[in-house]
Amino acid sequence: MVDRVDLSSKRVDISCHSRLGEGICPSCLSKCHRVNQTHERTVQDLALAGRKVYLHLSSRQWICDKCDRHFYESFSFLDSNATMTQRYEKFIYYRCIGVDLQYVVVHEDHCWQTVNRIFQKWSTKSLASVNLFGDVRAIGIDEIALYKGRGNYVCVLVNLETGQVLDVLPDRTKAYLIDYFKALGDEFCQQIEVFSSDLWDGYVGAAELCFPQADIVLDRFHFFGQLQQALDHCRKALRRDMPQDDSLKSLKWTLLRPAEKLSDTEINTLQAIFEREEMAMLKEAYEAKENFRDILQQDLTPKQAEAQLEMWVEHYSLLGHPFLNKFLKTFHKWKSYILNYFKERWSNGIVEGINNRIKMIKRRAFGFLKFKHFRLRILVEFAQLH
């Protein structure tokens, strides 16, 4: 019941008390009617017409006649010892999503520690209320550097069908991943049909042991990137051998870009370079890249793709190309997983996009001191809870 309302230009103060005539003892659950003392609690509520709202609650201390327990009455809209109502805390939590906490600090006029505590509290509650792993069929995994240049990576798990971030793991070693996936249960491991990753032995090894029903797919952009890298290494080697030749200086992206996306000027530039005898090795690497990409672009079954890729391998193996030979070894090592791409054409493209957004979160927050806070921020912003 509201007893009094005081209005000013910047705030609203509402004095009120509970109309309940009795309390329930938390120890013996008996009804209590005897009041020992009354204490006023001041808590902040949602703003009203641009004014801050404060509730001045008259909180009674009950005495239980049966067990002599002394306790203050509780309110359903207010946590114990809280200085804000639940709905106001939740409002602050929602405001934190998608922005830096400092933005909320300024607009809500609270200290950073208070806003951070509220975000941690409600994000943990939100994540506990859902089962992110329940209907997952296809998983993508990739790493991101926790601190740039220090070599410490964290893993990002993504539901490839929905784009939800399932979890962020502090380690990417094979042993850690095996323990993590097995801890999720046999039912989860059996339901995974697709596991997509880059060319990291730890990922593939963990998937082989944990997901017996899954097709392990190597992300096409990663293994095709190895071929592009071979092409660029060839260009760099020629540039070292011919330092006076400026035609190779700014040719990198022209060589790596798909042929159909080249301008007429770029096409003429490449034709002029490839006509030179000393550029024969570069021409071979470029043609190998384009022919391999053409196979990836075709609508082929795994068996058809295997036949075409075998022809591609046979042709370029005979050339003895020093840079392509390295890629051929990579292809033979991962061949079965590369062919799985042609079953349903899964890729880690969505995971790469998420990783770029995670980097933006890091920059926006000027870094994170604790991994658990970094993990919560990512899960809340990507898990589609709101």
What is the pLDDT at residue 342?
94
Digit-coded pLDDT (tens) for 322-346: 999 999 999 999 999 999 999 999 9
Instruction: Round the average pLDDT of the chain to a whole number and report it.
Output: 91
Using CB atoms within 10 Å of the CB of residue 64, give its burial: 0 to 12 exposed, 13 to 18 middle, 19+ buried.
buried
Instruction: Please give the residue that has the higher pLDDT: either 366 or 34.
Output: 34
Q: Which residues are within 8 A (CB) of 242 and not within 5 positions of it... i.e. 6 or more apart?
A: 248, 278
Alpha carbon distance 316, 327 (integer Å): 11
Checking if the pLDDT of 37 tops 90, the result is yes
Phi, psi angle pair for 32, to nearest 5°: -120, 140
Q: What is the pLDDT of residue 367?
A: 59
Residue 196 φ/ψ, nearest 5 degrees: -110, 135
Distance of CA 182 to the CA centre of its chain: 21
The arithmetic mean of pLDDT across residues 215-220, rounded, is 93
Report pTM. Answer: 0.81
At position 372, the amino acid (one-letter code) is: K
pLDDT at 373 over 90: no
Mean pLDDT of the 79-95 span: 93
pLDDT over 70 percentage in the chain: 97
User: Please, which residues bridge with residue 163 across strands?
Assistant: none
The answer to whether residue 366 scores a pLDDT higher than 80 is: no
Total Cβ atoms within 10 A of residue 130: 12
- Cα–Cα distance for residue pair 133/141, rounded to 1 Å: 14
At residue 81, the pLDDT reads 86
- Is the pLDDT at 380 greater than 90? The verdict is no
Tell which residue, 113, 142, 94, has the closest CA to residue 359. 142
Q: What is the pLDDT of residues 280-295, one digit of tens each?
A: 999 999 999 999 999 9
Quick: pLDDT tens for 173-185. Answer: 999 999 999 999 9
CA–CA distance, 229 with 249 (Å, rounded to integer): 16
Contact in structure between 42 and 56 (CB atoms under 8 Å): yes
Q: Which tens digit of pLDDT belongs to each residue from 117-165?
A: 999 999 999 888 888 888 899 999 999 887 766 667 889 999 999 888 9
**Domains of the chain: which residue ranges?**
1-83, 138-219+347-382, 220-344
pLDDT at 258 over 90: yes
pLDDT band at 211 (very low <50, low <70, confident <90, very high): very high
Q: Does domain 138-219+347-382 have CATH number 3.60.15.10?
A: no
In contact, 286 and 292? CB cutoff 8 Å: no
Neighbours of 367 (CB within 10 A): 11
Q: Where are the alpha helices (DSSP H) in the chain?
A: 86-96, 101-108, 112-128, 174-183, 186-191, 201-210, 220-241, 252-256, 264-274, 280-297, 302-317, 322-339, 341-344, 349-364, 371-382
At 48 the pLDDT is 92
Across 186-197, average pLDDT:
95
What pLDDT, on a 0 to 100 scale, did the predictor assign at position 149? 60
Question: What is the structure's pLDDT at 331?
Answer: 94
Percent of the chain beyond pLDDT 90? 72
Look at residue 247 in the predicted model and tell me its pLDDT: 84
